[in-house]
Amino acid sequence: MEKILVIGAAGQLGSELTKSLSDIYGGDRVIATDLNESARSKFDYCQFEVLDIMDQAKAKELIQKENVKQVYHLAAVLSATGEQKPLFAWNLNMDSLLFVLEMAREFKMEKVYWPSSIAVFGPNTPKINTPQYCVKEPNTVYGISKQAGERWCEYYFQKYGVDVRSLRYPGLIGYKSLPGGGTTDYAVDIYHKVLAGEKFSCFLREDSSLPMMYMPDAIKATLDLMHAPSESVKIRSSYNLAGMSFTPKDIYESILKYYPNFEIEYNPDFRQSIADSWPDSVDDSCARTDWGWKPDFGLDEMTKDILENLPNYSF
């Protein structure tokens, strides 16, 4: 049986994407992997293996043994954490991607998915409706690794025919996992704080506008791209992807409609300079034209859905 391997399955994106893949293909065809044995409890609906993707011998053995034909490579050190451990972040983010691309070439896999990010952009990138093709001068290790990764993905497609596909995610917001070390994590944490009855301390300025996306839209976009015919996927570096753009003040005011006594304070830290280097909004017309991308959620729809569902969700 041909298998689908999800690397870094216990993360924010992986937790929900793995479930969707299992619903589509069946849990017996999906292998969730993570560094930590404790993640096993999340994946009772599919196969689970403890895997450090930097252990290339073990990873290759798993790929061969399980006849893996698709890989979703989600393991990465994110932006804020990467600035604290830059060499570790570079090594993990780049070596693991190159390994996966090499495995795809060697074993003639059907498809590879690898996420990029708006972190590929930099302070000299146009900030409003950032185009698909523009100056990219990232100033974080995370962004530099994603920019380099995009070039490697396109290289492996052009040179070896590896069917690799990628999206430049904006900030992702979901209620089914806790923040994981990203600059946009405030937009996840704020919902936890309001339901806990706590005042929220935001590490960005109130006017810091960033592209964001609710997790159901991110899952939909990923699956739409991976299910698109190969001839429709015309960009093999990574597609711009947009859902909504908002500031910390915007999300606070959206929450006030349900919790009028909720309080916020702003205490910008080192993550502010990272946010300042990213776009305010993104032009994703290529994704819309090539494979029919269209988001379902705006800010208020997202706030309503999270506040309704998060209280009943256990971690």
User: Annotated catalytic residue: which of 72, 113, 142, 175?
Assistant: 142
Three-state DSSP class for 121? coil
- For the chain, strand residue ranges (E) read 3-7, 30-34, 47-50, 68-73, 111-113, 116-117, 164-165, 167-169, 171-173, 200-202, 210-214, 239-240, 244-246, 264-266
Q: What is the DSSP string of 19-40?
A: HHHHHHH-GGGEEEEES-GGGG
250: amino acid identity, one letter: D
Identify which of 203, 281, 296, 291 has the alpha carbon closest to the alpha carbon of residue 242: 281
186 annotated active-site: no
Q: Phi then psi for 22, rounded to 5 degrees?
A: -65, -40
Cα–Cα distance, 112 to 72 (Å, whole number): 6
Q: Angle at the Cα of 297 (from 294 to 302), degrees rounded to 5? A: 160
Identify which of 4, 10, 153, 125 has the alpha carbon closest to the alpha carbon of residue 76: 10
Catalytic residues: 142
